[in-house]
Chain A
């Protein structure tokens, strides 16, 4: 059983469309991060959220941390082909844990 479940697993959309990716858990996290991974490379950090209800924006990407710090979402406005990649959420459990657990991943394809 994965600690962090992401949905959808796959997403194929046209350029210009909006989309939302979800990251859900039954556990409480001290912080949650979103990474993007391109083929043949390692993941690269996009954002870290630490406060329940926090919203962060990175150009066309909007990240939200749930009020209870158990879930997060990533919303992309007007998707571009450069957004294509694997999106991974990663969380550090509340309670002072050092380990970071990754979600199952969402593979996004943006078609021109």
Chain B
């Protein structure tokens, strides 16, 4: 049982480049979300989805796009990477009791 799988684990981008962070879950959870983690700021919600075809913005959505075409996958797109987007990104899916299961994270550096 894989749980939540994120790829890649590490990525270095140049300013202005675009990329997609992949997230897949095999627990048939409807709710999925993306967070970024920066020192001293905990986890901040970027976007979330309550089911296939439904997404909404979190606290820090600017510069990021998401889509949810299937229950399993919830990719996060950086349209034009900026140094301020250097961070660790976590994808999570949520089961019963509002328990969130997190992936191992993607460490992104934007130069």
Contacts and interface: CB of A to CB of B under 8 A. Distances in A.
Interface of A: 2, 4, 6, 9, 31, 33, 35, 40-45, 48, 88, 90, 92, 98-105
Interface of B: 4, 31, 33, 35, 40-45, 48, 50, 58-59, 90, 92, 94, 97-100, 102-105
Nearest to B90: A42
Contacts of B40: 9, 104-105
Nearest to B99: A45
Contacts of A99: 45, 48, 58
Given A42-B102, A43-B102, 5 more contacts: A42-B104, A90-B100, A98-B50, A104-B40, A105-B42
A40 B98 contact: no
The binding surface of chain B is classed by DSSP as strand
Counting chain B CB atoms within 10 Å of each CB, the highest count among A31, A44, A92, A98 belongs to A98
B43 A102 contact: yes
Contact of A41 (B43, B100, B105): B105
A4 B41 CA distance: 10
A4 B59 CA distance: 13
A90 to B, nearest CB: 8
Contacts of A42: 4, 90, 92, 102-105
A35 B45 CA distance: 16
Given A41-B105, A42-B90, A42-B92, A101 B45 contact: yes
17 contacts: A2-B42, A4-B42, A31-B98, A41-B105, A42-B4, A42-B92, A42-B103, A45-B99, A90-B43, A98-B31, A98-B48, A99-B48, A100-B98, A101-B59, A104-B41, A104-B42, A105-B41
